[in-house]
Amino acid sequence: MTAHPTPGHPTRPGGLRLRPPRHPVDRRAVGWWTGQALVIVAPPVLVLLLLALLIPPARFWLLLPALVIAVPGLLYTLVMPRRRYRVHRWETTDDAVYAASGWIWQKWRVAPMSRIQTVDLVRGPIQQMFGLAGVTVTTASAAGAVKINGLDRTLADDLVERLTARTQATPGDAT
């Protein structure tokens, strides 16, 4: 237990609740998620529309699936980024990294500083277009990576540096 010397946190049975992490992600993340959704939804719809334009006899059977994809796709594109923006949050303390993610299925992840193995900066193509970056913090667990996406790029750079410095100060990774 020596790894987490945080006394003075008595457990209060009953009424415990998980508090959301302190910081929201960058507002531009909404744009980034919208872009991601469009990359998935738009191509099949556009291809179907184009074919419908080119092949008049099959127009009905091409427009029908286009509609079937487009309506839920549009809903997804509108709803998902905003819901995500409300859920995705992050926070670092002296002892741990804490992040929330998801929109329908939500996840909260905590990794103690003392068990962090690598801190990576992630920049996907769409994320870059919005001037954003992500930070992936991995531990020795195959399942426990904490991902914070949609941060301002300079903030992400800064965060990576800070976390790396802190992890180097605390050795041991429980393998």
Q: Which residues bind other proteins (CB under 8 A)?
A: 1-7, 9, 11-19, 21, 91, 93, 95-96, 98, 102, 104-112, 115, 139-144, 146, 172-175
| CB of 83 vs other proteins, minimal distance in Å | 11
Instruction: Give the angle subtended at the CA of 83 by the CAs of 47 and 78, to the nearest 5°.
Output: 30
DSSP run (H or E) holding 82: helix 59-87
- Edge-first strand order for the sheet with 116-122 is 116-122, 132-139, 146-152
* CB of residue 93 to other proteins, shortest distance in Å: 6
Least Cβ distance, residue 4 to other proteins (angstroms) = 4
H/E element holding 120? Answer: strand 116-122
Distance in Å, CB of 173 to other proteins, minimum: 7
Of 13 and 56, nearer to other proteins (C-beta) is 13
Q: Which is nearer to other proteins, 6 or 60 (CB)?
A: 6
Nearer to other proteins, 33 or 98 (CB): 98
Distance CA 96, CA 83 (A): 25
SS3 115: helix
